[in-house]
Amino acid sequence: MQKLPPSTEMCLIRSRKVCIAVITVLLCCLSVVAPSDAAASEVRLVLQITIDQLRGDLPLRFRNRFLPNGFRYLMDRGTYFSNAHYLHADTETGPGHATLVTGGQPAQHGIVGGDWWDEAKKKIVYSVEDENFPAYIKALSKQREQDPIGRAPTNLLSTTIGDEIYLASEQKSKVFAISGKDRSAIIPGGRVGKAFWLANGDFATSSFYYKTLPPWLADWNNKKLADSYRNKSWNLLKDRSTYWRKDRDDLPYEGTYKHLGRTMPKRLGSSDDYEFYRGLDHTIVSDELVLAFAKDLITREQLGKSEATDYLSLSFSSTDLIGHTWGVGSLEAEDNMLRVDQNLADLFTFVNKTIGLDKTLIVLSADHGVGEVTEQLQSLGFPATRIDPNAFTDHISKSLKSSFSTELDLLRTFVYPYLYLNPDNVKKLALPIDKVERAAAEASMSYPGISFAATRSDIIQGRLPSGQSHMLRIANTFYSKRSGNVHLVADQNAVLMHHPWHEKAGLHGSVWTYDTYVPIMFAGPGVPSQTVARLVGPHDIVPTIANILGIKPPSGSVGTVLTEIADCRAKQAAK
């Protein structure tokens, strides 16, 4: 039987999915009761929540342990999409947040990774750096190199849903983004919003947003809320006997962060200010500080109180750093899930009192999933491995030198998921660039743990092999001005990351389902109560928000409106 062209095959698959979606929507709408006043009310606040590294199965596994007004408010009273997957290849924080707020893939929004090589600048560029806009960050004696660099959404190519809400309101809407990480606030904040993130125990912003540090922000930081944790410990929220992993603390494959150790409870204090604040970032405290700041900002800015729809992005980072440090299967991660739920219950209660949940459209998802710790999988007999980036790049460099009989280094650098060639040396040798790319790709695939390597030339000319879902993800991640010469795909359960990230206990970033799988939850005016198991993606979130609000989607949006919500809301409105 003749194989259908990939485009035709994809159309048939999409058609089948559309038919299933239509039937689901019809059944859903038939079960919806007459709209209440709450369902018919206008949305005053769009609250977009991102739980960094919340893999899609975790809400399902913890469901019976959640409070009735935290995750379960969204899962039981809203629409819960239980089978959502990213369609890009680099499942990291930057690309994930960009997709969540633009509805685009990296090919459209331009955030191809957390970092990438800039050939013109001859350096690795951080996704939200811009030296023209210095960040207002409290200086410490021990400082990360990137902290003093400016911060702005300059590298984001697409508008965001916050931008579009602001434009549609005749510039009356208020748009804010808060996170424990800078990129998780700056990207969702878009061009017109104000972004705030944790840095050295304070909430920081940059001159892109304010010419000088706002007095109210200085007043907030002067309260030194982070410092109130110096004499505190991270204790288990519940009785230890109730935890699944109560007897699996301090496992040999867990990591740690400095003074925090590998066992529960954890003393948070440290004599080194830098290590103390960074330690807080690796615990539940980061989320608690973000929550406290968000509640203050909602009150200060009177969000949801005007006729215009306001927008607030909250990205909680504790889950990610705890997963990186101790692993998704650790006692620390188990306790963290219960605390995330408690924080959500606190937030929703506050929003209900100050704005009203009947006037708030809440959307929750994650920027990526995560895999189990490599050494844990090995202990269970899985063929898991860690790829040493230094040994790997040394192999590529030597292979290229041998292939082209030269002492010149044809490899510039490796910034996951890309190999970047040295165009100057390629030119000196008068070599066709596609030939060098092919040699680098073949050398990569000969290395243990590398499943596939796609060349830049093949991606641009559409020569990727069909039949495997990650080929589409590779293409979706490609943006010509930032992507490298060879896109690498590691084997399943093989950790591939540039130094020093490959040393973390828990990691993500691959094309495989443990990293692409995330939850999507909607709740608010007119959103029906239902669980939907069909395959959807985070790129579908923003078009759905735009449809609900009756505004145009962001410029780079390629997602599809989630009809289970949109059609049911339309039927309610028509009654």
Considering the segment(s) 385-503 as one domain, its CATH architecture is: 2-Layer Sandwich (3.30)
Give 454 or 18, the one with higher predicted confidence: 454
Q: What is the pLDDT of residue 143?
A: 58
Across the range 201-227, mean pLDDT stands at: 97
472 residue type, one letter: L
Q: Does residue 82 register a pLDDT over 80?
A: yes
Per-residue pLDDT band for 34 (boundaries 50, 70, 90) equals very low
Across the range 412-434, mean pLDDT stands at: 98
Q: Does residue 15 register a pLDDT over 80?
A: no
Q: Does residue 230 register a pLDDT over 50?
A: yes
Q: Where are the alpha helices (DSSP H) in 103-160?
A: 106-109
**pTM of the full structure:** 0.92
Q: What is the pLDDT of residue 33?
A: 30
Q: What is the pLDDT of residue 570?
A: 72
Q: Does residue 1 register a pLDDT over 70?
A: no
Q: Is 200 left (phi over 0), alpha (psi -120 to 50) or beta?
A: left
Per-residue pLDDT band for 543 (boundaries 50, 70, 90) equals very high
Across the range 255-279, mean pLDDT stands at: 96
Q: What is the pLDDT of residue 141?
A: 67
Q: Does residue 290 register a pLDDT over 80?
A: yes
What CATH number labels 37-109+129-368+520-574?
Answer: 3.40.720.10
Q: What is the pLDDT of residue 541?
A: 98
Instruction: Indicate the domain borders of the chain.
Output: 37-109+129-368+520-574, 385-503
Contact 370, 507 (CB under 8 A): yes
Residue 264: name the closest of 276, 252, 253, 256 by CA: 256
Per-residue pLDDT band for 278 (boundaries 50, 70, 90) equals very high
Q: Does residue 313 register a pLDDT over 80?
A: yes
Q: What is the pLDDT of residue 233?
A: 98
Across the range 175-194, mean pLDDT stands at: 98
Q: Does residue 51 register a pLDDT over 80?
A: yes
Q: Does residue 240 register a pLDDT over 80?
A: yes
- Note the pLDDT tens digit of each residue in 102-150: 999 999 999 999 999 999 999 999 999 999 999 999 888 665 544 557 9
Q: Measured between alpha carbons, how far is 494 from 509 in angstroms, rounded to an integer?
A: 11
Task: Flag the least confident range among 248-252, 402-406, 511-515.
Answer: 248-252
DSSP 8-state code for residue 129: B
Q: Quote the mean pLDDT of the chain.
A: 92
- Token digits for 423? 């165009």
Q: Does residue 11 register a pLDDT over 90?
A: no
Q: Does residue 279 register a pLDDT over 60?
A: yes
Q: Does residue 268 register a pLDDT over 70?
A: yes
Q: What is the pLDDT of residue 148?
A: 55
Across the range 493-503, mean pLDDT stands at: 89
Residue 59, classed as helix, strand or coil, is helix
Per-residue pLDDT band for 32 (boundaries 50, 70, 90) equals very low
Q: Measured between alpha carbons, how far is 47 from 315 in angstroms, rounded to an integer?
A: 11
416: phi then psi, degrees, rounded to nearest 5 = -50, 135
Q: What is the pLDDT of residue 503?
A: 85
Q: Does residue 57 register a pLDDT over 90?
A: yes
Per-residue pLDDT band for 237 (boundaries 50, 70, 90) equals very high
Give 572 or 493, the one with higher predicted confidence: 493
Q: Burial-class residue 215 by CB neighbours within 10 Å (0-12, 13-18, 19+).
A: exposed
Q: Measured between alpha carbons, how far is 516 from 177 in angstroms, rounded to an integer?
A: 24
- Note the pLDDT tens digit of each residue in 336-385: 999 999 999 999 999 999 999 999 999 999 999 999 999 999 999 999 99
Per-residue pLDDT band for 165 (boundaries 50, 70, 90) equals very high
Q: Does residue 17 register a pLDDT over 90?
A: no
Q: How far is CA 315 from CA 113, 209, 293, 311, 398, in A?
A: 18, 18, 12, 13, 42
Across the range 469-473, mean pLDDT stands at: 93
DSSP secondary structure letters along 259-300: GG-SSSSEE---SSHHHHHHHHHTSTHHHHHHHHHHHHHHHH
Q: Does residue 275 register a pLDDT over 80?
A: yes
Per-residue pLDDT band for 498 (boundaries 50, 70, 90) equals confident
Q: Where are the alpha helices (DSSP H) in 35-148?
A: 37-40, 58-62, 71-77, 93-102, 106-109
